[in-house]
Structure 1
Amino acid sequence: MKKVRLSMVASLLLGLYASLCGMAAQASPPLVLLPETSYFSIAQYVDVLEDPNGTLTIQDVSGAAHRDDFHPAFPQGNTQLHNDINFGHSASSYWLRLAVDSREALTHRMLFEVAFSSLDHVSFYTSAANGWQRLDAGDLVPFAERPVAHRNFVFPLMLSAGQQMLYLRVQSSGTLTIPLHLWEENDFDNYNHETYAVLALYFGIWLGLMLYNLLLYFSLRERVYLVYVGFVASLAVGLMTLSGLGNQFLWPNWPAWGNAALPVGFAAAGAFGIQFTRLFLDTKKNTPRHDLALQGLLAFFLLTLLACAALPYRWGALAVSALGVITPLAVISSGIVCLRKGHPGAHYFLLAWTLLMVGVSIMGVRNMGWVPTNFFTLYGIQIGSVLEMLLLSFALADRIQILRREKDVAQNDAIHAIGHRLKSVINTIPDYIFYKDRDGRFLGCNKAFESLLGRSESELIGKTIYDFFPEERARYFSSQDKQAMAGKAPHRYEEWMPAADGRNIFLEMIKTPLFGTKGELLGLIGVGRDITERQRNAEQERTRNMIFELLAKGGELPEVLLQVVRTVENVRSDLLCSILLLDDAGKHLLLGAAPSLPDAYNRAVHDLPIGDGVGSCGTAVFRGERVIVEDIYKHPYWIPFTEILALAKQGGLVSCWSEPIRSSNGKILGTFAIYQGQPGVPNASDIEMIQQAANLASIAIEHKRAENLIWHQANYDSVTHLPNRRLFHDRLEQEMHKTHRINQALALLFIDLDRFKEVNDTLGHDVGDLLLVEAARRISACVRDSDTVARIGGDEFTVILSQLEGVHRVEPIAEQIIETLAMPFQLGDESIYMSASLGITLYPNDAVTVEDLLKNADQAMYVAKSRGRNGFSYFTSAMQEHAQSRLRLIKDMRGALSAKQFRVYFQPIIDLRSGEIFKAEALIRWQHPQRGLVNPLEFIPLAEETGLIVDIGDWVFHEAAEWMRRWHTQGYSCKQVSVNKSPNQFLRDEKNEGWVAHLRKIGLPGECMVIEITEGLLLDARAEVTQSLLNFRDAGIQVALDDFGTGYSSLSYLKKFDIDYLKIDRSFVRDLASDPNDLALSEAIIVMAHKLGLKVVAEGVETIEQRNILLSAGCDYAQGYLYAKPIPAEEFDALLAGGKLFV
């Protein structure tokens, strides 16, 4: 009955469509333009003249010779106003004439439209003052040359009052359909916008259809959907060409392709459409004869498609039109046969393709010129394709549902068949066995699995894992199912699963995909084995070994406890664990480890008092027994603690079980607590697991406390808890090493409490101990946290003041210690007045070993004590003398330059390979009239502080340059002289360019001079520093980096500032032969420098062994006492003149 109704509907639609196609338009004489009319369909006003040879001109057809040869395009009296002129396929050219009678001159522009985009040549003629004006268009003319940019052929027209003649010449190798319209320009624009919107919607629907079916193909992998995509795409190309959108938007500059796209697109669409019919209806099986016919048509379409590339457009278009008439018969008849045979999608297919093929046929017969052209014949294929698209979408959707139902039925039947055969077998197996379909629905299980879940098989069938487990747990099981079904081999894994009896069992699970006879996936079968006991034993052993390993490696207690907690949480992912430690006073619980609990909750329970009824943990520790709270929001132990309950609620905590942690002798050390996100109590296996975790925590706590106690007793004073002599020695060695590396100062203070023995003997040892404790507290309050205060015996204390920026900071600290110890000590009822004697020694000024420093400080302390106590003394009077000497030295230095007391000395720098004096470093000496030679280390820092360094530096540079000019002129081996320039010189010297100017003045090349700078300068990003270095580089003056590696990490600046030499500091060179670290650092500096293209100079070379090591390492130059001390300029001049080699 359904099929009969569909047939009746189809017949009704076909009859209605045919009657609409037969409508014709009536022709009339001259077109009279009325001002209120903005649109005219003008075919009935047109006269036509055929030009078979295409030789007539506008002058010919407008003249008297051919004027009467025109005939009306339509018979007189035709009342159908919307007919379009159609000559079918014709090789002739046609002239169309239109008489326009305008009652008045039009002030606005009109547009003359030929509304068919597939015409090769169109010429439009209007009368002009000097003859005829011609405008050309056509689909063989580049789109940019059209008079109006439009998908059809549109010509602008201005009309004056009276009658005017318009001529149109049309020629095309395809069908000659000529719809003619005359528009007022504004109305044409409005109509045009509407038309483009409709076309955009139309082709958008086609694009959506292609994408939809392409997605179906990738999802189902059925070729029919891909073929249909090809059909839709090919038909879209033809329709885009037919509508003119192709020429306008896709290939505006390729008119030849635009001419061929129409037959190519429709030929390809026909081929894909035939193949789609064969696949969709399965004609090879359902109607073999029709299948042979369809194969023949497919071959003709493919031949036509190939021929379109070689044959003229006209023949290709004729062939496609002819095939378009024949194809519906074969396709529709195939659909009818399949419908009779009960094909499930044939009714949709038949109706859809009937409508499309009617549209294609109408286009074909219209192209042949057998029916008149109107809206329905012009747009028949578009109308048919829209209807086809909608109906065929239903057919494809219906096809998916049918295939899915068939596959589901087959799948379930196959699985049920397997299930019945296995049922009797699997029920006898103790392992847990179940099987599911590919959507995760249970299809059956054995008796063991029923007892595991506490559900009968009938309750399981048809349900999924989500019906029996919380969502997070079910998601995990489901992911394992999918992983198993994604592969071919069995999927093995292990997992904890809650059993119906409350136990948590550890399963070894094997899930194997099940496939049908054709290789299609049906589902899976799962087999689980209980290995709980084996797993717990292995986990306990692994955790115990891990804890002992951490303890053996010196791991900190929080790290060890964290591992214990993580172990339990890994075994049971639904549990959150916490370890709280009882404080030394035995009154409060302190957080030990709780990585998974909220931070706010951990902060709230930290420092929680213990007591009966103080939560689960406080009660467990107070009573020394396990406390289990099933629901903390209802239990009296928890209700008073509203703040903690609120934080617990935020963290999703509901139940809490707490197990006391006991030492080996039964003392309570803390508690191991477990939280759950739901009400509950532990089962036997849970309690066993908690006890094992508490035992491991106990081992860790006792071990670390014993270890800490032993270390503390070995390194700290038992009375004052300050570092003892042993730890003091270690700290002092560390600070000395650090001070040496960073080139700063260190002070050691030795403090002795005056007359302490009298107090200790008089008031007793207890009071003496209290006095020592208070003295230790006062001394510690006077120094920084980074400093070290130690008690090394009796009433003797030491203080290490490290990383001092200057020794001047020592004295205020010493004074503060003296003052604070002189204040009265209130010890019980006794007020005791004490004083202290303090000795100070400095590193490295006074000594370089721990023993010597301690001895020096002790001696200085006795000096202070001998001076009357309650004071301090330096190891020597060097600091007092230094301060006075400093003032005198600054005063004398101010006049030393003008008094010519400075001398320039040179120290040779030797080429290690040749032994020649290749360079020299210029050094300054001060010949003081009273003191003799003053060490530069004494006066250079003062010169920098006072700013005299600028003038002194200029003097050294000028002197060195003069000597270098002499050696350069004499051709001596010394090629360069190095001059030191400190950061203060760069920042204070406004004459940085003066050095370059001086070299130019004396005619000395810049390459003869080297400026030595420190690493710290490279870190100074000030503009004047950078500019000075750039000025030196531009003048050819090279730059050497002095004391490299001793203070700053300046490697990133080496290339930025174009450094030429690195000078290895003497501190690395000194112990080359004995210290592997210094050797490694020196070799690394040399390799790095050479990689960067830099030369290396080693300072402080004093032995042949050092020289040989440096030479083997690839060092370029050496400087040191092995070769020569710094010597006066005259002596160095003589040395060069002698040409001495150092080998």
Structure 2
Amino acid sequence: MLLQAYGYEALGVRDKFSVAVVFACLSARASTLGALAMGSLPVRCGRLTGRRPAGRVAGILLLVCLLLTSARAVAEQPVLIVDGAQSAIALQPYISYLRDPTGSLQIEQVVQQTGQFRPASERRDLNFGYTHDHLWLSLDLVSTADQLSDWLIEMRYASLDRVSLYSVGADGIKVQHSGDTLAYGERSIGHRNPVFALRLAPGEQRRLFIRAHSAGSLTLDSRLWPAAGFQQYSQKGYVLLALYFGALLALGSYNLLLFAVLRERSFILYVCFVASFGVGVLAINGLGAQYLWPNLGTLGNRLLPLGISLAATLGVLFAQAFLCTARRTPRLDRYLRVWAGLAALATLATLLIEVQLALQLMSIVGLVSAVVLLLTGVICVARRVPGARIFVLAWLALLIGGSLLALRNFALIPSSFITINAMQIGSAMEMLLLSLGLAARFNKLKRLQEEAQKQALAAALQQEKVLEQRVAERTEALAEANARLAAQAMQDPLTGLANRTALASHMQQAMLRTRRRGELLALVLIDLDGFKDINDEWGHAAGDRVLIEIAGRLQAFARGSDLVARLGGDEFILLSEGIHNRQEVLVLAERLLQAISLPVALKDESVSVGASIGISFSDGIAPDSETLLRQADQAMYQRKRSGKQGVVLYAS
């Protein structure tokens, strides 16, 4: 077990036969020494179990050498013991690494050179930056779980070209491959990051070798996960990325619609900037190689520098349009044009030069562009350019994110969740702020332009303004007249009460409410008695005065939910909702009759009128509105035939 756990090379042997011999000697000598220590073996004539003292000394020396060698191996590379109860395990403390500058080493050669591995614990992290070297990682682990356990090794940086896992054990060497230049269907496990499966039996010991190479930043931070725990962790990561790209898609779509409506150049530049930046981020986090270009292979490596470099170019063009530098800061605008041209050339170069140089060029162009645009924003803030403040905040967020990512790519700062995802975090804040700034800046610029135009054209357009004012007055008067006509269409012109049209509309709604509430709807039809005599004796003006007075009394008498309408002539309607019993309406009608009978002043004299009142009821279903009105009319005429001045409830 000791030989398997720490490697044959650690004991200075090269083949399995020698290993077996040494292991047998080690076992025999260990058991002999143990027996001697327990006093279970007799010592006779300087012999131990029939062996010579010189042989016994040699065996002890061999055992000590082997134990010291094993202890040295343990000190250089601790063994990772997994018991099935751990969650995520950071592997750096247990890893040793070996550089392969030529990339020619094979697994058989690496197994023979484990003594040349260096412990990764000496390093700050496993970010080797931009390098042409191939890196080999070595890891020993042993399972103390009491049952078969499944594990996953995750390389936490998605943008790795090619990663292979060699698992060495009693059953030989098992190989798995992954990386973003490998077709997605050929990866050992389908995931945006390089992930490898590992199944350990109880007590099983394995030595793992990981071979990695990448044109980009060679970041080899890794974790060992229980299979179930990794699934939960992975799902959360995909959800966060989905939220990020969902926000980018929403912002891009929203501003594309604004461009379609306003035809403002800054909006379409913003949309193109978001799209190109999104391509770069899709490449760096592995989603692009998983979903959009799974079979693109090594060509997919160029989408990252192409997307980010193009985004830097479009960012400069967007800044020129957003801040109106050509008009407000002409000299600064010329410098921006020069840098935009250089960034465009760098974008083109990412398609032609070596991928690693393209990625380094991308980092430089992106960082310099962010600094240039931040300085541009500061200058524009000093010159009070509209929208410059929010522009500075946006590019400051992106500059911080881009700087952290670039410094991490060059291995100047350690890799972590923040530094790996710094560009995504900064870009999300930047794009949101720019989207808000677009709307604010556009509105402010429009207002400033309108004010300037009005001041410049004030004298020449004075007559036109007068004409516009007259047109506006006529339009307003026409609108008021239309409003009055609409009101008159629903009002009785003499009394101001609702007319037949308004009554019909209101009655339909009242019927629905009555049916829903399970109440009664009362229609009270009022016909004035003696009104014709007043008209004949005092004239129509006096008659109109009486109608207006009676209408006012009815309106004052009605409840808030009631409707008072004039059918025509001296006939009025009171439509009352929320009635629970008929007697209630009868009492209301008697009081209404008293109010109507009060004298009406006409100049120096006063006159009085009576009223014949007919009442009908509906539960909202039957009778319908027309029948309800007809029944009230029949009840009213029944009252008139009986001598006028009174109230009659309709009865079939």
Match of residue 139 from structure 1:
180
Match of residue 51 from structure 1:
100
Deviation at 1:96, TM superposition (A): 1.2
Question: Which residue among 471, 479, 489 is the counterpart of 1:575?
Answer: 489
Deviation at 1:273, TM superposition (A): 0.8
Match of residue 129 from structure 2:
88
Distance (Å, rounded) in 2 between the aligned partners of 1:276 and 1:197: 30
Q: 1:168-567 to 2 correspondence within 5 Å?
A: 168-256=210-298, 258-407=300-449, 409-410=451-452, 434=470, 436=472, 465=476, 474=479
Distance (Å, rounded) in 2 between the aligned partners of 1:599 and 1:293: 70
Secondary structure of the residue that 1:206 maps to in structure 2? helix
Deviation at 1:274, TM superposition (A): 1.2
TM-score of the superposed pair, with normalisation by structure 2: 0.61
The change in CA–CA distance for 1:412 and 1:122 in structure 2 (over 3 A counts) is same
Structure 2 runs not aligned, ≥5 long: 1-75, 493-499, 509-524, 571-652
Deviation at 1:307, TM superposition (A): 4.0
The change in CA–CA distance for 1:433 and 1:306 in structure 2 (over 3 A counts) is closer
Question: Residues 611 and 619 of structure 1 are in contact (CA less than 8 Å); yes or no, is this contact kept in structure 2?
Answer: no
Question: Which residue among 36, 56, 61 is the counterpart of 2:110?
Answer: 61
Question: Which residue among 136, 151, 155 is the counterpart of 2:196?
Answer: 155
Match of residue 124 from structure 1:
165
Deviation at 1:111, TM superposition (A): 0.8
In structure 1, what residue type is equivalent to 2:285? Answer: S
Deviation at 1:415, TM superposition (A): 8.8
Deviation at 1:382, TM superposition (A): 1.7
In structure 1, what residue type is equivalent to 2:115? Answer: D
Q: Which has the higher contact order (CA 8 A, sep 6+)?
A: 2
Match of residue 568 from structure 1:
none
Distance (Å, rounded) in 1 between the aligned partners of 2:464 and 2:378: 47
> For 1:474-514, what per-residue CA distance to the aligned partner results, in whole angstroms no more than 9, with x for missing partners?
4xx7xxxxxxxxxxxxxxxxx8686xxxxx9xxxxxxxxxx
Deviation at 1:655, TM superposition (A): 8.1
Distance (Å, rounded) in 2 between the aligned partners of 1:636 and 1:314: 92
Deviation at 1:346, TM superposition (A): 2.4
Structure with the bigger percentage of helix:
2
Moved more, 365-374 or 94-103: 365-374
Match of residue 33 from structure 1:
82
Q: Does 1:598 align with 2:504?
A: yes
Secondary structure of the residue that 1:574 maps to in structure 2? helix
Question: Residues 345 and 399 of structure 1 are in contact (CA less than 8 Å); yes or no, is this contact kept in structure 2?
Answer: yes
Distance (Å, rounded) in 2 between the aligned partners of 1:279 and 1:57: 55
Distance (Å, rounded) in 2 between the aligned partners of 1:631 and 1:257: 95
Secondary structure of the residue that 2:470 maps to in structure 1? strand
In structure 2, what residue type is equivalent to 1:71? Answer: R
Q: Does 1:113 align with 2:162?
A: no
Question: Which residue among 124, 133, 139 is the counterpart of 1:98?
Answer: 139
Query: How many percent identity over aligned positions?
Result: 32
The change in CA–CA distance for 1:620 and 1:302 in structure 2 (over 3 A counts) is farther
Greater Rg over alpha carbons, structure: 1
> For 1:297-323, what per-residue CA distance to the aligned partner results, in whole angstroms no more than 9, with x for missing partners?
322332343344455533432321221
Question: Residues 612 and 622 of structure 1 are in contact (CA less than 8 Å); yes or no, is this contact kept in structure 2?
Answer: no
Distance (Å, rounded) in 1 between the aligned partners of 2:286 and 2:211: 20
Secondary structure of the residue that 1:54 maps to in structure 2? coil
RMSD: 4.4
In structure 1, what residue type is equivalent to 2:311? Answer: A
The change in CA–CA distance for 1:44 and 1:598 in structure 2 (over 3 A counts) is same
Secondary structure of the residue that 2:315 maps to in structure 1? helix
Distance (Å, rounded) in 2 between the aligned partners of 1:637 and 1:213: 58
The change in CA–CA distance for 1:333 and 1:611 in structure 2 (over 3 A counts) is closer
Q: Does 1:635 align with 2:550?
A: yes
Question: Residues 158 and 284 of structure 2 are in contact (CA less than 8 Å); yes or no, is this contact kept in structure 1?
Answer: yes
Secondary structure of the residue that 1:56 maps to in structure 2? coil
Secondary structure of the residue that 2:200 maps to in structure 1? coil
Distance (Å, rounded) in 1 between the aligned partners of 2:482 and 2:396: 62
Match of residue 42 from structure 1:
91
Q: 1:821-832 to 2 correspondence within 5 Å?
A: none
Distance (Å, rounded) in 2 between the aligned partners of 1:631 and 1:401: 59
Structure 1 runs not aligned, ≥5 long: 1-26, 427-431, 437-444, 450-463, 478-494, 499-503, 505-571, 579-593, 603-608, 659-1143
Distance (Å, rounded) in 2 between the aligned partners of 1:150 and 1:101: 26
Deviation at 1:113, TM superposition (A): 0.3
The change in CA–CA distance for 1:156 and 1:653 in structure 2 (over 3 A counts) is same
Distance (Å, rounded) in 1 between the aligned partners of 2:369 and 2:550: 84
Match of residue 73 from structure 1:
120
Deviation at 1:237, TM superposition (A): 1.5
The change in CA–CA distance for 1:434 and 1:55 in structure 2 (over 3 A counts) is same
Match of residue 592 from structure 2:
none
In structure 1, what residue type is equivalent to 2:116? Answer: D
Secondary structure of the residue that 1:37 maps to in structure 2? coil
In structure 2, what residue type is equivalent to 1:68? Answer: G
Secondary structure of the residue that 1:141 maps to in structure 2? coil
Deviation at 1:227, TM superposition (A): 0.9
Question: Residues 612 and 623 of structure 1 are in contact (CA less than 8 Å); yes or no, is this contact kept in structure 2?
Answer: no
Distance (Å, rounded) in 2 between the aligned partners of 1:102 and 1:601: 84
> For 1:41-86, what per-residue CA distance to the aligned partner results, in whole angstroms no more than 9, with x for missing partners?
11233222222332222111112xx2222223352xx6x6xx3x22
Q: 1:982-1131 to 2 correspondence within 5 Å?
A: none
In structure 1, what residue type is equivalent to 2:86? Answer: T
Question: Residues 323 and 386 of structure 2 are in contact (CA less than 8 Å); yes or no, is this contact kept in structure 1?
Answer: no
Question: Residues 611 and 622 of structure 1 are in contact (CA less than 8 Å); yes or no, is this contact kept in structure 2?
Answer: no
How many residue pairs match? The answer is: 471
Distance (Å, rounded) in 1 between the aligned partners of 2:210 and 2:323: 49
The change in CA–CA distance for 1:610 and 1:656 in structure 2 (over 3 A counts) is closer
TM-score of the superposed pair, with normalisation by structure 1: 0.37
In structure 1, what residue type is equivalent to 2:470? Answer: F
In structure 2, what residue type is equivalent to 1:244? Answer: G
Distance (Å, rounded) in 2 between the aligned partners of 1:164 and 1:631: 110
Deviation at 1:265, TM superposition (A): 1.5
Distance (Å, rounded) in 2 between the aligned partners of 1:254 and 1:279: 35
Distance (Å, rounded) in 1 between the aligned partners of 2:82 and 2:217: 30
Deviation at 1:266, TM superposition (A): 1.0
Secondary structure of the residue that 2:149 maps to in structure 1? coil
Secondary structure of the residue that 1:322 maps to in structure 2? helix
Deviation at 1:110, TM superposition (A): 1.1
In structure 2, what residue type is equivalent to 1:73? Answer: A
Distance (Å, rounded) in 1 between the aligned partners of 2:531 and 2:422: 84
In structure 2, what residue type is equivalent to 1:96? Answer: L
Secondary structure of the residue that 1:598 maps to in structure 2? helix
